[in-house]
Amino acid sequence: MTSARKAAAIASAMAAVVLGTTSCTTTKEPEPQRQFALSPAPPSFTEGDDYTVSSRIPTVLDGQQVVYFDRTDGRLIMSLSGTSKSGQPSEDDPRGGALISVDPKTNEVTELARHGKPGAPRYIVDVAVAGKTVVWVETTQGNYDAMPWRLYALNLETGEEKELASYQQLGIKDPPWPSPDAIRPQVVGDDVYVVAVDRVDDQQNVVQTSAYRVPLTGGRLEKVVPKATGAWAAGRQLDVLLDSTLARWDPDRGSSGEVTDAGMPADCGAFATKGVRVACTTADGRRRLTVESTEHGRFTVNLGKNTVGYLNGTSDWISFSTGDRAFLLDLRRGKLFSLPGSNDTGSNRLSGSSFIYVKQTSSPDAMRLVTLVNGDR
């Protein structure tokens, strides 16, 4: 269903400290590069020099396509898609989609939820993990014509599953797909946030989306940010895309929770996670990606006339794609890489310095759990 990276230079500095008649020289860590461009092409992301492979994961299990979403307790949270013989989402597959967990060391598969049935399959749209709880959005549509969605939560300790909310609460039959920034549910505290279509025109085109929340225990959807087109959990706060601005939102203040003087212009894309905010802006027909990290500082990537997509990341790295090329910005080392063989990083998010690297090949183990190297090499 979804399925979604830059030449860098390192500057080093030396400091001499003189105490009385004794002197010693100490070496600081290399300062990370701050500004990048896609031309000339960034160096390729290379195994050994830039990352190590922890395990290789099948892209097909029991004849169904596998999509990675998140991780908890060492297990990967993934989905299986009902597929046709050509490998595309299809209602012809009577099994539909399922939510599964996979042990990356043994590839042992545990089925967590499967709501489809013959003739009426379900498809997992996106997933979020918060502690011992898995939250996901699923739909009955295997294509992009409409997205009649339902929001579920599963407690991995107790096995209790609950439907939290659905499109029916908003009174729109067969709502269209929202913005790609709106698909992943977000967990902040005891609430789940989701951006949903709440106004359409006579042709079922999207007129408005808004950010809603519902308790993890279930209940009625509450509109929190009218006209929001994207939302991301950032610790105890929320970042929302509103009127081409990536704005900080205090959930405790509900619909009046916008934090003033904390917005970033973002007219061509945005992403946020705890400690990191990413915004795409346009000036004179050219685009620029700005990354603000509380731990690693500020970075910019000049995109030229390229359109950015599949923004993703953690506190240590940011990934994105432009057309058929994918890139990764290592925030710790201050290096930008192209991701060979990959054109979609939308399903690669993990945490810290790990992520799923999916190469677009026919290899059955093209999905790899990798970790960024430590330090400069």
Spatial distance between the Cα atoms of 248 and 270, rounded to a whole number of angstroms: 12
Question: Is residue 28 in a domain?
Answer: yes
User: Residues 237, 224: contact at Cβ < 8 Å?
Assistant: no
In this prediction, residue 284 carries a pLDDT of: 94
Taking only the tens of pLDDT, the chain with its 377 residues reads: 433 333 333 233 222 222 233 334 444 555 667 999 999 999 999 999 999 988 887 777 777 888 878 788 888 888 887 666 655 555 566 677 789 998 888 888 999 998 877 677 788 888 988 888 999 999 887 666 788 999 999 999 999 999 999 999 999 988 998 877 677 899 998 999 999 999 999 888 889 999 999 999 999 999 999 999 999 998 788 999 999 999 999 988 888 888 888 899 999 999 999 899 999 999 999 999 999 999 999 999 999 999 998 888 888 999 998 877 889 999 999 999 998 877 554 445 556 787 777 765 556 566 778 888 875 54
Question: Is residue 195 in a domain?
Answer: yes
3-state SS class at 283: strand
Name the domain count of the chain: 1
User: Which CATH number is 109's domain given?
Assistant: 2.130.10.10
Q: Give residue 50's domain range.
A: 14-372
Regarding pTM above 0.85, the answer is no
Spatial distance between the Cα atoms of 377 and 374, rounded to a whole number of angstroms: 9
Question: Is residue 2 in a domain?
Answer: no
Question: Is residue 8 in a domain?
Answer: no
Question: Is residue 188 in a domain?
Answer: yes
3-state SS class at 167: helix
How much of the chain is in helix, strand and coil states, percent to nearest 5?
5, 50, 45
Question: Is residue 6 in a domain?
Answer: no
Structure tokens given for 30:
């290399």
Question: Is residue 82 in a domain?
Answer: yes
User: Residues 100, 78: contact at Cβ < 8 Å?
Assistant: yes
* Cross-strand pairs, 345: none
In this prediction, residue 231 carries a pLDDT of: 94
Spatial distance between the Cα atoms of 79 and 296, rounded to a whole number of angstroms: 33
Question: Is residue 58 in a domain?
Answer: yes
